[in-house]
Amino acid sequence: MKIGIIGGGFQGLVLGHLLSPNHSVTIFEKDSAIGGLLKMVDFGEFKIDKYYHHIFFRDWFTIGLFRKLGIEQEIDWLKSTTSVYIKGRFLPFFKPNELIKFPYLSFSSKIRLGLAILFLQNYRPGGKMNNLNARAWIKRVMGRQVWEIIWQPLFKGKFDHFADEISLSWFWARIFSKRGDKPGKDELLGYPRGGFEALTNKLEESVKANGGKILVEQRVIEIIIANNQAVGVKTASGSHDFDLIICTVAPPIFQGLLPGECHDFKNELKRVEYLGAISTILILNDKLTPAYWNNILEPAVPFKGIIEQTNLNDVSSYGGKHVIYLSRYTPRDSKYFMSADDELMKLYRPHLLKIDKDFDKKLLSFKVYKDDYCQPVIRMGYPQALIDFRTSINRLYQLSMAQIFPQDRGLNAAAKAAEELSAMLNKEEPMLKKRDWNEQMYLAHPTRKVYEHKNFLVRFIENQRLKKVLSLAQIKKSDKVIEVGCEGGYLLKRLLGAKEVVGLDIAQNALDDAKEMINSPKLKLVRADAAEIPFPANYFDKVICSETLEHVAEPKKIIKELSRIVKPDGRVIISVPYEKSLAGFKALLVKLRIFDALFSGIENKTSAWHLQNFNKKEIVKLCKEFLIVENVRLTPFPFLGPRIILKCRKSYESPLN
């Protein structure tokens, strides 16, 4: 497939690396350099990551990526230290004994904190906590003191004024990811020699070695959508056609690339809010803090984390200088984000002097970097439309930090998500081709072509088929009914007397026509493959599959699914063209030179869209493998057809698994 990837950051590059061996991949990056948040900045004597990064021992996907790219040996494993800054002092805060010695929590609060963390680390279905409030849960389980002293400052540092609205699923994921860590042991963190640029360089090499393209300074201005399918992208230099598009930019940017007709999906994307990030890099002639990772628990301090890189990686890597990151997530309209670099330092300076009275003497230089969309706000009820890789638009997929819910943004979660999406796309390629074929088939032969055909005989045959199907189905008001292969809804609209009505089709164009024709709260339209119907076993009273089996490569799989979803006392109604009889009849009329006179506008041979040519004996035999056939009718003509209609019920001997 020709795959277009929007965004040359970490996720876009990993996807390109994974997909390019089997597909033709093009990555579009708006900036002059790839890497996104993994870019390096130059301080003359040395280069450093624009944002702080490190690797945990448990980051199997990140480590695996380094290994596959042949650079695992470049990772140095270094001893890490953690502290908190509270009431004007730094206190170690990582090991159990350090928690016990922490002076600002009561003994009972420490016990509640420890037990709650133990519970979260051993509770697996944390994604089900999406609709629960983290603040409320922490206050109820750990206590108000733990919330106000420990978690509230950290939540505000991460989510600013959204701190009280965060989903418990996100908090669970943060704690759950620490399971397996050995209490009391020093933590080792990985950092690649020379920074993470080594990783992005290797990813770039991999994409290009596999024939992929990376186009820098190529801002995508629009995703081209036709018939609810992504077919290409527009840049300032022109249009590019693709079979499939993956968008790796943040949802606020993503929604701006979609045309107006995608308003429903655009509205879903607008539901997630993002915070910007400010990374202030300080270069000092001496150390500032006692630890690598320093959480700020003082509400008045405007930066919320001090990450002293040279307390992890030795100063010799940075020309003997000390490198410190000051981190802050903040709305893009905040005074901090909108301040010029010197103004921001003026806001930070009084607090830095409180931390170290000699700060001014130690400061050699600083640089400030800002990015608009860095931290998705994981509020309660985080929308499913953002969690899913698939979008509601065919052939358009998404993978940004917003899709790694409930895990926090990070390299390992991003690499894991990229591998999952890549595997899904490789597995789904045959399905995508099948969908395309069906879309083309429906566009060439929309339902209205037969029901509104100018030839009376065509209309008569189709209407008689509908009448016979409905007569055999005997729909009741209490029934749950599904039409598998519902096309444009001509039969579906006659089923609305039932309690619940489902129309299923693989072609989105067919479902769109059905939606336009039928306006009923009873109706549910589902896009799915008939070989994998997304409903439980024994769910429907009546299952109708009319004029569908002739269009599929493996009709046996479809009949097996029909048998699975029908109730034991339900009925399955199947109709197919009596193709072999019909072909002989057409051939006779053509030979007599009267076919065109009787059936003008109709193909005089078997349709190219028919993959199966059934006769009565063949379709009955096929159905009997999974169903008990109660009745077989030819309609509208008893001996000729040209339609075969079967009424069946579930066979308890059916191999449903």
- Residue 634 tokens read as 């030819």
This prediction has a pTM of 0.72
Query: What are the b/e assignments for 510-543, b being 16+ CB within 10 Å?
Result: bbbbbeeebeeeebebebebbbebebeeebbbbb
Would you state the pLDDT for residue 183?
60
CA distance 339 to 202: 36
Peptide bond into 636 cis (omega under 30): yes
Q: Residues with Cβ < 8 Å from 111, sequence gap 6 or more?
A: none
CA-CA-CA-CA torsion for 92, 95, 98, 104, nearest 10 degrees? 80
- Residue 242 tokens read as 């693709």
CB-CB contact of 304 with 328 (8 Å): yes
The helix/strand count (H/E) of the chain reads as 23, 27
Coarse DSSP helix, strand, coil percentages of the chain, rounded to the nearest 5 percent: 40, 25, 35
Positions in the chain whose pLDDT score sits under 50:
654-657
CA distance 49 to 196: 7
Strand partners, 90: 85
DSSP per-residue letters across 33-72 = SSBGGG-EEE-SS-EEESS---EETT-HHHHHHHHHTT-G
Give the angle 385-389-394 at the CA atoms, nearest 5°.
85
- Smallest CA-to-CA distance from 568 within 438, 656, 468, 441 is with 656
Q: Which DSSP letter does residue 433 get? A: H
Per the CATH hierarchy, to which homologous superfamily does domain 445-650 belong? Vaccinia Virus protein VP39 (3.40.50.150)
Residue 281 backbone zone (phi > 0: left; psi -120 to 50: alpha; other: beta): beta
CA distance 363 to 143: 40
Would you state the pLDDT for residue 657?
38
**Domain 96-184 class, CATH top level:** mainly alpha
CB-CB contact of 303 with 351 (8 Å): yes
- How many C-beta atoms lie closer than 10 Å to residue 655's C-beta? 10
Q: Which amino acid is at 207?
A: V
CATH 1.10.3110 residue window(s) in the chain: 96-184
Q: Which DSSP letter does residue 22 get? A: T
- Residue 33 tokens read as 């350099």
CATH 3.40.50.150 residue window(s) in the chain: 445-650
- Smallest CA-to-CA distance from 250 within 157, 375, 392 is with 375
- Smallest CA-to-CA distance from 15 within 416, 407, 371, 391 is with 416
Residue 450 backbone zone (phi > 0: left; psi -120 to 50: alpha; other: beta): alpha
Three-class SS of residue 371? strand
Residue 544 CA, chain-centre distance (Å), reads: 32
CATH 3.50.50.60 residue window(s) in the chain: 1-53+196-273+382-443
Strand 480-484, strand 540-546: pairing: parallel
Q: What is the pLDDT of residues 470-515, one digit of tens each?
A: 999 999 999 999 999 999 999 999 999 999 999 999 988 899 899 9
- Smallest CA-to-CA distance from 425 within 15, 61, 9, 64 is with 15
Per the CATH hierarchy, to which homologous superfamily does domain 1-53+196-273+382-443 belong? FAD/NAD(P)-binding domain (3.50.50.60)
Peptide bond into 642 cis (omega under 30): yes
